[in-house]
Amino acid sequence: MTHDLIILGSGPAGCTAALYAARAGLRPLVLEGAQPGGQLTQTTDIENFPGLEQPVNGYDLVVSMRRQAERFGAVFEMDEAVGADFSGPVKQLETLVAGTLEARAVILATGASARWLGLPAEQALIGRGVSGCATCDGAFFRGKEVAVVGGGDVACEDALFLARLCSRVWLIHRRDALRASKVMAERVLASDVITPVWDTVVEDVLDPAAGAVTAVRLRNVKDGSLRDLPVSGLFVAIGHTPNTAFLKGAVDLDPRGYVAVRDGVRTSAEGVFAAGDVMDPDYKQAVVAAGAGAKAALEAERYLLG
């Protein structure tokens, strides 16, 4: 069986693409991927998605998006693509469960995975004070002290954003100088709210037993000394990894591994479109991903009709 459209990924981009495609009568097949619902499911309260008068849990929002798409005929399956061949008019996908699937058009919405420190306490406190997105969660820490881990442009951008909301931002970096661009580094160092903590790594996050971040345990990489820094939030800003390993050779990727697009959502392969964090290294916002998902579905519909 050859499907009209297969959508890879079930976060805001994938679900919105499924909604638009289903309403167009394409009956899309959505492969949910390794993390059904995407990174949004790790967010507790979402306040900045249009139309939400009250905060909503990230998982609940994604479930609502999915049900809306299903109401119009989208089909969701627990499966994951591990290989792709987009060279012909019929696109082929190798998956873990169903084996080989075929489609006339494909939308890539597999997202990106945040890079974490790998600490057990960090994982236990994601959504409870630990975050990978300052613009998503910074407002919950208004007037409080927080820590940002990283030394590149992303960490500096996060620190500057949080400095407008928080009483103190501790920028923790393992080196004695920032890796960020000169302009970005100068802005950070000129801030009265941001305090760099040089030559230091996060050894632990306190306190999982309390169910909230109360401090971070720091280790100086030069002398090995330990100290606890009281903070209410920890923002990990050491980058993201786009979920594109299975796409190498199938579509063009940029130097960082994100899907390269032209005209908004078109990839280098005819009939293959991309939306959300898999092609967006900059914004990492649910509403931006959803908008791109809508565009990808509209482009896929035009392609199939044409």
For residue 44, what pLDDT is reported? Answer: 67
Share of the chain above pLDDT 70, in %: 100
Average predicted confidence (pLDDT) for the chain: 95
Q: What confidence category does residue 58 fall into, taking pLDDT thresholds of 50, 70 and 90?
A: confident
Residues 37, 12: Cα–Cα separation, whole Å: 7
Backbone angles phi, psi at 38, to 5 degrees: 70, -165
List residues with catalytic annotation: 133, 136-137
Asked whether residue 22 carries a pLDDT value surpassing 70, the answer given is yes
Task: Name every residue whose Cβ is closer than 8 Å to that of residue 257 and which is 6 or more positions away in sequence.
Answer: 241, 242, 244
- Reported as a single tens digit per residue, the pLDDT across 175-191 is 999 998 899 899 999 99
Number of helical (H) and strand (E) elements in the chain, helices listed first: 7, 19
* 197, 174 Cβ separation under 8 angstroms: no
Considering only residues 111 and 135, tell me which one the structure prediction assigns the higher pLDDT. Answer: 111
- Reported as a single tens digit per residue, the pLDDT across 186-205 is 999 999 999 999 999 999 99
- Reported as a single tens digit per residue, the pLDDT across 122-139 is 999 998 999 998 888 999
Residue 50 tokens, joined: 């249009």
> Residues 148-157: what's their mean pLDDT?
92
Give the CA radius of gyration of the chain. Answer: 21
Residues 19, 69: Cα–Cα separation, whole Å: 4
Smallest CA-to-CA distance from 76 within 61, 65, 86, 87 is with: 65
For residue 234, what pLDDT is reported? Answer: 98
Considering only residues 115 and 219, tell me which one the structure prediction assigns the higher pLDDT. Answer: 219
Q: What is the DSSP string of 69-108?
A: HHHTT-EEES--EEEEE-SSSSEEEEESSS-EEEEEEEEE
Residue 192: is it exposed, middle or buried by C-beta count within 10 angstroms (0-12/13-18/19+)? exposed
> Residues 255-274: what's their mean pLDDT?
97
Smallest CA-to-CA distance from 106 within 134, 127, 120, 85 is with: 85
Residues 92, 84: Cα–Cα separation, whole Å: 6
Asked whether residue 34 carries a pLDDT value surpassing 90, the answer given is no
Asked whether residue 89 carries a pLDDT value surpassing 80, the answer given is yes
